[in-house]
Structure 1
């Protein structure tokens, strides 16, 4: 696989902490549904199954998304408004030089060009701003460097910047918690994965509930299967505010080690998880869910076109990796804009990116990321 300047995935630091293998020896990261109810004439194709015994008001209340987006500040100037003024002030020979004429989606639009969202999931009218990590390591992301309340305060500050810039799509503070961590040691189950404790998960689920935020449980696979790990966190996915993320690069074959060997996930296996979460959501009468898929290069995600959203599960492909901003932007266009799925995400490393992109620069991306995660 061709490699360029970006270093390996975020989780590599944890892998190094769990073994004697130095992270400097690791590979570099590349960066350059239900059928129509024919018995009910009022039911249209694509509608979710209605429960006759349940009145509509009660159902709507139960399915309401359990978060509160951060309202824009009173003195906030939306990015669209600012850019419109700048456009008016441009000299004729400057028009088109900012690259906006090359956009495939309008500024601020998060849905991929030509793609629909039939769900009522959290990304439909909002943007998620996530802080990534695990309380078990300071090296795996910002989550592990702070106590929960301090962490939430910092997360809300970062989230507020996006609500101020794009009031039409207010941002929601979101915790991205590494739930199963890949490691160099095979461990007692021989799958090169260590599960975080129920206590850790409960701490951050309760933190999200307290602050009207969301939680995304991130699974790193080792030699385990996607579906086995989804079922390991199933009881948490039954919480209204809990969603799922899949880290593709840590899924290795027998005889390989995460962090030493670059992993790969078949999109058809991810689709099994999407459909499983969709069924889980419907059976438990939950608000619509999100499945986030991390990708930093083409190798780690095969059969990508097999991954499809459902009527109650949104899908986002998250461009992951650190390094020069120009390279990251180019690969975001390659893997997100030019290989459209439904929504796109973008990861930012506070201490690794050069330079660290500002929220304004992030929102100008095409399409604008529906999820912005910080590590």
Structure 2
């Protein structure tokens, strides 16, 4: 959290709101007893400037842990504000209090705090708060002695009542609890909307208590709304008072997850109001991964500093790279920066599936991808994927799996039995796919060399955001093996090493998540598969069942591959010539579990 300003004066000790009224009465009695002299001339009011300032955390990523709304509010205030002579205090995180409090906070440029938090007075000391707008029964709140308080009755708040505090508002807006966070996030100076909570047919205990107050009475003091209960009259709204909210923070955002149970909507709205008061945008991140949706990626484009609220975001070490990737603004085909977006289960995060053509350009014998030129391949991929659109509510993304290194019957110059395609031969198709919104997977058939070595040779293509990697163990030979005499295989350590290299490559370049695909039609093809490392946040791992032939045989392979499998996504391949018969799209999506990727060869 930012340190207190060096010029911060030492504050007198504290009081509660309950004792403030007695001090006002005592002052009045002293004045009455000393009357009778000559009338003193009215002094000229001293101009007052209330200027707030923002100081973002030094670290690019800050995560505020779960906790009660009052404690979380303190933490967010500490993370965003350097000083705030004006602040807003609510008795509790009740929508009826929070809605108008948010409007006041944004207009005046001060944080919203919640009574009952340990350290409330210390935070007001640090902020240098001199004037506090209070909503609700916060009589027991522990405050510094010299804070001037202005009660505001949430039950009767209107534009006139706020004008008395120097607050100018826009249109009035009644919001339901489930829309409160979005409404607060949309508040903006100079005339924020006047938010009020929609009527609750079953009011909370605090709302019921307010309803029993006398009409027009302040819930904090029993005095008419707007009456000062502090030792000195509030200067808010006076003609000699100038309120200077902070300038909007640059390249920063507050991240919240409205789908999380850690804070209720009103508690989330409290911290959202503090962010908007600081001029910091509020970004709702369903599921806690800012890469998951197009909306979050667009909102975080160019952001350098974030404060995230809640455990769904993970720790800064996990969230930081995710934010850095989202901040690039680059999106994958189908939207967002995740290959598959169903892992969070959060509302607003749509699933994606893929339908791909397989092969290598210019070689029809290796698959349908090579049967036509680049424009026709792009069109065919689009048409093939479109057949699945009506079969699912998920987004179906057209894709291409391009064989980059082709298994060869004879030794190559490097004795690898693997013939590499030149990067420049493949680049036109890769770039055409990007322009058409199609995903690309680079497929490796390494022969006697290893997958890591070959993957690194195609780093130029893997640097494209929409390009992933496939390993084909059928064509990974031992030193004494030859293609078509033996079926190749790979040890899990080599697979994991390739995954680790690709994950680091992706993370270092702030690239969107990449598909990491493993072809398999026999358990022997990947030894010790149960040790497959699926922990890399930068990769979406998929096992692709490559079996061909009769449908009963393919179904048996599918079932066998699922036995003891790690937690991965799954792919299914349809062979035009070898399957008897080949499944049509509707039949393919009857396979259970429904494949995340369907490839045509």
For the criterion TM > 0.5, the same-fold answer is: yes
- List structure 1 segments (4+ residues) > 3 angstroms apart after TM superposition: 37-52, 116-120
* TM-score normalised to structure 2 length: 0.45
Partner of 2:119 in structure 1?
none
Query: Taking structure 1 as reference, are residues 59 and 344 closer, same or farther at Cα in structure 2, changes over 3 Å only?
Result: closer
Shift of residue 63, structure 1, vs aligned partner = 5.2
Query: Taking structure 1 as reference, are residues 119 and 259 closer, same or farther at Cα in structure 2, changes over 3 Å only?
Result: farther
1:293 aligned onto 2:559: no
Query: Taking structure 1 as reference, are residues 369 and 46 closer, same or farther at Cα in structure 2, changes over 3 Å only?
Result: farther
Shift of residue 59, structure 1, vs aligned partner = 5.1
Query: Aligned with 1:221: secondary structure?
Result: coil
* TM-score normalised to structure 1 length: 0.71
What aligned pairs does 1:142-291 form with structure 2 within 5 A after superposition? Answer: 142-167=368-393, 169-291=394-516
Partner of 1:26 in structure 2?
none
**Separation (CA, whole Å) in 2 of partners of 1:326 and 1:242:** 33
Q: Which residue, 311, 326, 339 being the options, matches 2:552?
A: 326
Can you give the 5+ residue segments of structure 2 that lack an aligned partner in the other structure? 1-59, 66-307
Query: Taking structure 1 as reference, are residues 47 and 276 closer, same or farther at Cα in structure 2, changes over 3 Å only?
Result: farther
Query: Aligned with 1:208: secondary structure?
Result: helix
Paired residue total: 289
Query: Taking structure 1 as reference, are residues 340 and 51 closer, same or farther at Cα in structure 2, changes over 3 Å only?
Result: closer
Q: Please say if residues 117 and 314 of structure 1, whose CA atoms lie closer than 8 Å, have aligned partners that are also in contact.
A: no
Query: Aligned with 1:344: secondary structure?
Result: strand
1:110-162, Cα deviation, whole Å (9 max, x unpaired): 99xxxx94799xx9821111100012421100011111111221211110122
Partner of 1:372 in structure 2?
598
Q: Please say if residues 130 and 155 of structure 1, whose CA atoms lie closer than 8 Å, have aligned partners that are also in contact.
A: yes
Partner of 1:65 in structure 2?
331
Can you give the 5+ residue segments of structure 1 that lack an aligned partner in the other structure? 1-36, 70-109
1:334-355, Cα deviation, whole Å (9 max, x unpaired): 1036534311101110111011
Q: Which structure exhibits the higher relative contact order, with contacts defined as CA atoms closer than 8 Å and separated by 6 or more residues?
A: 1
**Separation (CA, whole Å) in 1 of partners of 2:582 and 2:593:** 19
1:37-91, Cα deviation, whole Å (9 max, x unpaired): 9985557536655559x9x6x853525433137xxxxxxxxxxxxxxxxxxxxxx
1:235-277, Cα deviation, whole Å (9 max, x unpaired): 2111101000000111111121122221111122111111211
**Separation (CA, whole Å) in 2 of partners of 1:47 and 1:139:** 49
Q: Please say if residues 175 and 204 of structure 1, whose CA atoms lie closer than 8 Å, have aligned partners that are also in contact.
A: no
Query: Taking structure 1 as reference, are residues 64 and 368 closer, same or farther at Cα in structure 2, changes over 3 Å only?
Result: farther
Query: Aligned with 1:207: secondary structure?
Result: helix
Query: Taking structure 1 as reference, are residues 63 and 319 closer, same or farther at Cα in structure 2, changes over 3 Å only?
Result: farther
Q: Please say if residues 131 and 155 of structure 1, whose CA atoms lie closer than 8 Å, have aligned partners that are also in contact.
A: yes
**Separation (CA, whole Å) in 1 of partners of 2:551 and 2:559:** 12
Q: Please say if residues 503 and 539 of structure 2, whose CA atoms lie closer than 8 Å, have aligned partners that are also in contact.
A: yes
**Separation (CA, whole Å) in 2 of partners of 1:155 and 1:40:** 42
Query: Taking structure 1 as reference, are residues 129 and 356 closer, same or farther at Cα in structure 2, changes over 3 Å only?
Result: same
Query: Aligned with 1:135: secondary structure?
Result: coil
C-alpha RMSD over aligned residues: 2.9
Question: Which shifted more, 128-137 or 217-226?
Answer: 128-137
**Separation (CA, whole Å) in 1 of partners of 2:416 and 2:488:** 13
**Separation (CA, whole Å) in 1 of partners of 2:344 and 2:425:** 33
Q: Please say if residues 412 and 418 of structure 2, whose CA atoms lie closer than 8 Å, have aligned partners that are also in contact.
A: yes
Q: Please say if residues 336 and 344 of structure 1, whose CA atoms lie closer than 8 Å, have aligned partners that are also in contact.
A: no
What aligned pairs does 1:99-178 form with structure 2 within 5 A after superposition? Answer: 117=343, 125-167=351-393, 169-178=394-403
Q: Please say if residues 183 and 194 of structure 1, whose CA atoms lie closer than 8 Å, have aligned partners that are also in contact.
A: yes
Question: Which shifted more, 358-367 or 140-149?
Answer: 358-367
Question: Which shifted more, 265-274 or 174-183?
Answer: 265-274
Query: Taking structure 1 as reference, are residues 227 and 244 closer, same or farther at Cα in structure 2, changes over 3 Å only?
Result: same
**Separation (CA, whole Å) in 1 of partners of 2:490 and 2:316:** 31
Query: Taking structure 1 as reference, are residues 46 and 366 closer, same or farther at Cα in structure 2, changes over 3 Å only?
Result: farther
1:171-212, Cα deviation, whole Å (9 max, x unpaired): 111110000111111111111111001122201111111201
Query: Taking structure 1 as reference, are residues 46 and 229 closer, same or farther at Cα in structure 2, changes over 3 Å only?
Result: farther
Shift of residue 280, structure 1, vs aligned partner = 1.2
**Max Rg structure:** 2
